[in-house]
Amino acid sequence: MMEWSDMLPEILDIIAHKHITFYEDYPCFAGVCKSWRLAAARTYHNSNGPPSRLPSLMLAEKSDDHESRELFLLSNKSIRKIRLPEAYGKVYMSSCGWLLTVGKDFATQLINPLSHEIINLPKADTFPEAIHPLQPLQWDFAIVKVVLLMESKLVLVICGCTGQLGFCHIGDKKWTSVEQPYDNPIYDITFYNGKVYTFNDDKIQACNVNGKDPTVLADVTTLPENVYSFDCYDDTNGEDPALVDVATIPEDIYGQNVFSAYIVGRDDGERKQLVVITRHEMFNVDRYNTKSFQVLAYDLESGNWSKVRDFGTKTLFVGYNSSFWVEDTTGVIKSNCIYYTKNDTGGDFGIYHMSDGTIEPLYFAGESCISAPEWLQSM
């Protein structure tokens, strides 16, 4: 019988491509023997390797390391180092495993941190509102949030200087902004159930960036399914996109100071909901740290608000990334929790337990003057 170590390299390469689907598969495969270890190395020799099985935390860049970045893996609580010179010295935010970066010259790119694929986007200073009459555009605050819809080749962002919703299709030469008053900046955006939703101080709004009649308002309680149909190839006939009011947050939620807010869709059985998460903070020594979260759900069918106290088996990830859910059956990710990072360069990140409101420290990796640690969704 042939020994495993005597298998032909061509056969081992086929086996490696089939079985090394996640980064965590490497040790088991490479540990068989030297020939298997070499096959594992050949499988991803032109990239940083496969994605992690679970989300990872991309740590702040180190000033003395221009070539690589560190990922804290939730799967096994270890550090994974990857080569990523393309992101050094730039601000970035993540969505669907990709990074959107902005450089000092406002050059904006999508970077796949594992494959090193780069997609050029319109420069961040091509927003129509980039030249704010009272607030000059700063490169490190030009874009503060991204939602990537790769299948539609659509990129949704929040412009930092104005809080405006903007978008582009990959290949566009400039960003398109959605009509929104300067005094009503957007906190967060999400794409859910075929629509784009935004959240500001007290309101959820919907946007059909490709619709034929983007300025039509609809009754919240009688929202028909086809009013805000989202089709990235639909012709707008040159009309300016606009936001559509969907709902207003109950007044009593703002008894406390809200420092950050997020919006994300959730399917609760047969119900479709928009979940609004507000982060409340308290001053501790020299900075504000997270104190608690309040979670409300808006039922798109009934138009009713309800407080959310239990995520069931799901876990929510929020921060500088686009918010996303994870349902981990292995038990490594703690269910009914919010894994959070803070939208600045500080070290405030941890695990908030919905069941009792306690906060569990996660990992401290220092601070950066440019980039904040943020979640990288497994692709």
pLDDT digits (tens, 9 = 90+) for 111-132: 999 999 999 999 998 887 655 5
Average pLDDT of span 319-345: 88
The pair of structure tokens assigned to 77 is: 């609580």
The pair of structure tokens assigned to 364 is: 């401290």
Are 278 and 290 spatial neighbours (Cβ–Cβ below 8 Å)?
no
Beta bridge partner(s), residue 18: none
Q: What is residue 148's predicted lDDT score, i.e. its pLDDT?
A: 95
Q: What is residue 337's predicted lDDT score, i.e. its pLDDT?
A: 96
The Cα–Cα gap between 197 and 245 comes to 10
The Cα–Cα gap between 348 and 309 comes to 23
Element holding 14 (H helix, E strand): helix 9-19
Q: What is residue 73's predicted lDDT score, i.e. its pLDDT?
A: 92
Q: What is residue 30's predicted lDDT score, i.e. its pLDDT?
A: 77
Q: What is residue 249's predicted lDDT score, i.e. its pLDDT?
A: 62
pLDDT digits (tens, 9 = 90+) for 53-65: 899 999 888 878 8
The Cα–Cα gap between 283 and 290 comes to 9
Are 194 and 154 spatial neighbours (Cβ–Cβ below 8 Å)?
no
| Max mean pLDDT range (184-193, 313-322, 346-355) | 313-322
Task: Please say if the pLDDT value at position 162 is more than 50.
Answer: yes
- Taking all residues of the chain, what is their mean pLDDT, rounded to a whole number? 79
Rounded to a whole number, what is the distance in angstroms from the first to the last CA of the chain? 39
What three-state secondary structure class fits 86? helix
Q: What is residue 297's predicted lDDT score, i.e. its pLDDT?
A: 87
The Cα–Cα gap between 183 and 205 comes to 15
Task: Please say if the pLDDT value at position 356 is more than 90.
Answer: yes
Are 160 and 169 spatial neighbours (Cβ–Cβ below 8 Å)?
no
Band of pLDDT at residue 227, cut at 50, 70 and 90: very low
* Residue matched to tokens 């500088």: 320
Q: What is residue 368's predicted lDDT score, i.e. its pLDDT?
A: 54
| Max mean pLDDT range (47-51, 183-187, 275-279, 314-318) | 314-318
Label residue 194 left, alpha or beta by phi (over 0 means left) and psi (-120 to 50 means alpha). Answer: left
The Cα–Cα gap between 120 and 106 comes to 12
pLDDT digits (tens, 9 = 90+) for 16-47: 777 778 888 777 777 778 888 888 778 777 78
Are 244 and 213 spatial neighbours (Cβ–Cβ below 8 Å)?
no
| DSSP H helices in the chain | 9-19, 26-30, 34-43
CB atoms within 10 A of CB 24: 18
- The full set of domain ranges for the chain reads 4-43
Nearest of 235, 154, 143, 239 to residue 194 by alpha carbon: 154
**% the chain with pLDDT above 70:** 77
The Cα–Cα gap between 154 and 298 comes to 26
Burial (CB count <10 Å: 0-12, 13-18, 19+), residue 67: exposed
Q: What is residue 244's predicted lDDT score, i.e. its pLDDT?
A: 63
Q: Which residues have CB under 8 Å from 86's CB, separation 6+?
A: 101, 109, 111, 116, 118
Are 145 and 160 spatial neighbours (Cβ–Cβ below 8 Å)?
no
pLDDT digits (tens, 9 = 90+) for 181-219: 666 788 899 999 888 888 887 788 888 766 654 332 222
Are 126 and 107 spatial neighbours (Cβ–Cβ below 8 Å)?
no
